[in-house]
Amino acid sequence: MEVRSHDIIVLGSGLAGLRAAVEVARHSDFDVAIVSKVQLMRSHSVCAEGGTGAVMHPEEGDSFELHAWDTVKGSDFLADQDVVWRFVQAMPREILLLEHWGIPWSRRPDGRIHQRPFGGHSFPRGCYAADKTGFFEMHALYDTLQKYATVARYDECFVTSIIIEGGEFRGLTVWNLTNGEFFLLRGKALIIATGGACRMYGFTTYSLTATGDGLAMAYRAGLPLKDMEFVQFHPTGLVPSGILITEGARGEGGYLVNNKGERFMSQYAPSMMEIAPRDIVSRSMITEIEAGRGFAGVDGLDYIHLDLRHLGAERIYERLPMIRELAMKFNFIDPVFEPIPTRPAAHYFMGGIHTDIDGATPIPGIWAAGEAACVSLHGANRLGLNSTAECLVWGGIAGGEVVKFLAKQRSLPPPPSEGRFKEEEARIFGRFPEKGEADIYEVRRQLQRTMDKQVAVFRTGPELEAALDTIRELKASVPRLGVADRGRVYNTNLLAALEVENLLDLAEVIISGGLARSESRGAHARRDYPHRDDANWLKHTLAHHTSEGPRLEYIPVRITLWQPVERKY
Ligand SMILES: Cc1cc2nc3c(=O)[nH]c(=O)nc-3n(C[C@H](O)[C@H](O)[C@H](O)COP(=O)(O)OP(=O)(O)OC[C@H]3O[C@@H](n4cnc5c(N)ncnc54)[C@H](O)[C@@H]3O)c2cc1C
């Protein structure tokens, strides 16, 4: 058994992982390994476009109370309010830390950091670097990490399992895609920062790599997943590719227009219009499309126009250059002269690995941060700007907590048995037949079609039941998946099989949680239960792995500041 050891393992090199690694490196001499299935700077976070939320100008009327209220109301009251309060207070410092680490924030003429409006925020709160915010945030963190000799990198290394024995973290099994090596990575502590799983949908804004591996591995290892039924649909996915057109485009003043030329949001959210929260805008767009007021697209992808023309060329060039480039390259449309075709696309997982307010999971030695975690900041519906922000805050918190933990945990926990390691090696490289009866890519297509059709913006009980049957059939076909490539080096065929297996496990959790939750709250909109039901459902779902499927239990929401009220915009 090949073994590597470090003090701390950060699994994932997106914003949350890098922020955690920086925190450890600047406060200790512990040696940190960052593991990523892609090259570090290819992590999904580089795609973040519109901005990061923080109260930066209280003298102009913004406040922690307002940011917290917007977040709690946006969450449809499912956010834990102590978590929200900690978050809003921590954010301005994160913006300034990035500033010190070199990020080129877009600025006002007087040199201060500029902020743009965003959905569900009652104040312009989005700090941004044009429309490439994630890229510049990643770069600032990456550059900062170069200062520390204590950080090792395992790029293009795919983690296949998280080993927990005796109730504690024992290591990761890792497949090095570049040379085929399979090894055990031991550490005293682990931070899981593996991002979301939106690639279970066909029409999605997400990178191809967002396959939820960390969530699925944690779930199978015994960590509960929380609130997984809440999947966010971003109103403006570019049709037909699904590429994101940032909410910043509407924050800058863009209009959503139906085929009658109407700005229909006046019917649904008269005070916030196009920058109402995403769940509301997405439902409004689908309602317009279903009523025949959309534009006809191919493959059922009917759409709504996002019109930026009135913003003028100069503003589009300065504030939304990448959006213009994307529309031009993928749709041959210049938004300076033509509206952009958009419709709601799967975009974000509000749910994730259950953690406490410090990012700690129930297993000693394991933390989770970023989109893979559910610290309960976003509840049933995340506001734009709050995800990159969460990655920064809880990446930092988890890093700091691990440093404290290691002051007590001085030695490595014992390794797992050689037998356990060999079993995992056989599961990865010896399980799939060369000529299987099931086709990986067809299984993935069926999964995506099912999720797109039956587990989308609006849901019903019968649709969810049908979707669950399909997912269980697809799961049963996994051992029969044919993997024609028998090599170990850059075997993308085998990788696709492992990723689809992870996505199927998570789809089962999402649908089971959604079927059980007989109410509509935030992004979970049930046509057969159209109202929020606080008496029965003001609670978090926890899903535990069993061989028969997820076992659900519920824990209370922490309400410290505001009682739930009707949500109007
Ligand atoms: C197009 C787009 C634009 C967005 N824009 C914004 C925005 O403007 N503002 C905002 O607040 N939010 C935005 N979001 C959301 C935000 O970008 C993400 O939620 C956030 O970047 C997630 O970061 P993360 O660090 O949690 O995970 P990621 O950046 O997804 O990183 C996951 C890491 O885990 C690694 N990994 C995963 N599985 C494995 C495995 N099996 N083995 C080894 N490594 C693994 C990956 O290689 C990667 O390094 C946007 C989302 C999208 C899709």
Digit-coded pLDDT (tens) for 382-396:
999 999 999 999 999
Taking residues 7-13, report their average pLDDT.
98
**CA-based nearest residue to 87, from 389, 395, 384:** 389
Q: Is the pLDDT of residue 131 over 90?
A: no
Q: Which amino acid is at 291?
A: A
Q: Is the pLDDT of residue 206 over 90?
A: yes
Q: Is the pLDDT of residue 409 over 90?
A: no
pLDDT band at 331 (very low <50, low <70, confident <90, very high): very high
Number of alpha carbons in the 13 Å side-chain half-sphere of residue 418: 2
Ligand 1 center to residue 209 CA distance, Å? 9
Where do the structural domains in the chain lie, given as residue ranges? 236-347, 431-530
Closest protein CA for atom 8 of ligand 1: 50
Ligand 1 center to residue 562 CA distance, Å? 30
Cβ burial, residue 357 (10 Å; 0-12/13-18/19+): middle
Taking residues 299-310, report their average pLDDT.
96
The per-residue pLDDT of the chain, averaged, comes to 97
Ligand 1 center to residue 95 CA distance, Å? 18
Q: Residues of the chain with pLDDT > 70: what percent? A: 100
Taking residues 190-217, report their average pLDDT.
97
User: What are the tokens at 560?
Assistant: 């410290």
Taking residues 198-227, report their average pLDDT.
97
Q: Which candidate in 19, 199, 250, 521 is catalytic?
A: 250
The Cα–Cα gap between 519 and 534 comes to 9
- DSSP state, residue 303: B
pLDDT digits (tens, 9 = 90+) for 254-275: 999 999 999 999 999 999 999 9
Closest protein CA for atom 14 of ligand 1: 48
Ligand 1 center to residue 263 CA distance, Å? 32
**CA-based nearest residue to 277, from 386, 126, 121:** 121
**CA-based nearest residue to 67, from 399, 531, 393, 524:** 393
Residue 385 near ligand 1, beta carbon < 6 Å? yes
Q: Which amino acid is at 467?
A: A
Taking residues 100-108, report their average pLDDT.
96
Taking residues 240-261, report their average pLDDT.
95
Asked if 395 and 20 count as a contact pair (C-beta separation under 8 A), the reply is yes
Ligand 1 center to residue 501 CA distance, Å? 20
Taking residues 328-350, report their average pLDDT.
97
Ligand 1 center to residue 234 CA distance, Å? 15
**CA-based nearest residue to 503, from 162, 173, 157, 215:** 215
Asked if 275 and 120 count as a contact pair (C-beta separation under 8 A), the reply is yes
Catalytic residue list contains 234: yes
Residue 498 near ligand 1, beta carbon < 6 Å? no
Ligand 1 atom at shortest distance from the alpha carbon of 386: 11
Residue 131 near ligand 1, beta carbon < 6 Å? no
Amino acid 105: pLDDT? 97
The Cα–Cα gap between 335 and 301 comes to 20
Q: Does domain 431-530 have CATH number 1.20.58.100?
A: yes
Residue 159 near ligand 1, beta carbon < 6 Å? yes
pLDDT band at 453 (very low <50, low <70, confident <90, very high): very high
Pocket test for ligand 1, best of 11, 39, 41, 45 (most atoms within 8 A of CB): 45
Residue 36 near ligand 1, beta carbon < 6 Å? yes
**What are the residues facing 225 on neighbouring strands?**
353, 543
Taking residues 477-495, report their average pLDDT.
97
Residue 71 near ligand 1, beta carbon < 6 Å? no
Whole-Å CA distances, 355 to 88, 121, 227, 542: 18, 26, 12, 11
Q: Which sign does the torsion angle of CA 514, 520, 522, 525 carry?
A: positive
Residue 477 near ligand 1, beta carbon < 6 Å? no
Amino acid 250: pLDDT? 95
Residue 242 near ligand 1, beta carbon < 6 Å? no
Asked if 244 and 387 count as a contact pair (C-beta separation under 8 A), the reply is no
Ligand 1 center to residue 273 CA distance, Å? 28
Pocket test for ligand 1, best of 35, 200, 323, 388 (most atoms within 8 A of CB): 388
The Cα–Cα gap between 236 and 278 comes to 9
Residue 247 near ligand 1, beta carbon < 6 Å? no
Sheet holding 52-53, edge to edge: 52-53, 126-127, 115-116
CATH number of 236-347, picked from 1.10.760.10, 3.30.497.10, 3.90.700.10, 3.90.1280.10: 3.90.700.10
Residue 339 near ligand 1, beta carbon < 6 Å? no
Whole-Å CA distances, 42 to 128, 142, 554: 20, 12, 36
Taking residues 122-130, report their average pLDDT.
95
The pTM for the full model equals 0.97
Q: Is the pLDDT of residue 468 over 90?
A: yes
From the CA atom positions of the chain, what is the Rg in Å?
23
Ligand 1 center to residue 194 CA distance, Å? 7
Residue 45 near ligand 1, beta carbon < 6 Å? yes
Taking residues 473-483, report their average pLDDT.
97
pLDDT band at 462 (very low <50, low <70, confident <90, very high): very high
Q: Is the pLDDT of residue 39 over 90?
A: yes
Q: Which candidate in 114, 170, 234, 382 is catalytic?
A: 234
The Cα–Cα gap between 245 and 323 comes to 6
3-state secondary structure of 261: coil
Catalytic residue list contains 278: no
Q: Is the pLDDT of residue 48 over 90?
A: yes
pLDDT band at 410 (very low <50, low <70, confident <90, very high): confident
Q: Residues of the chain with pLDDT > 90: what percent? A: 97
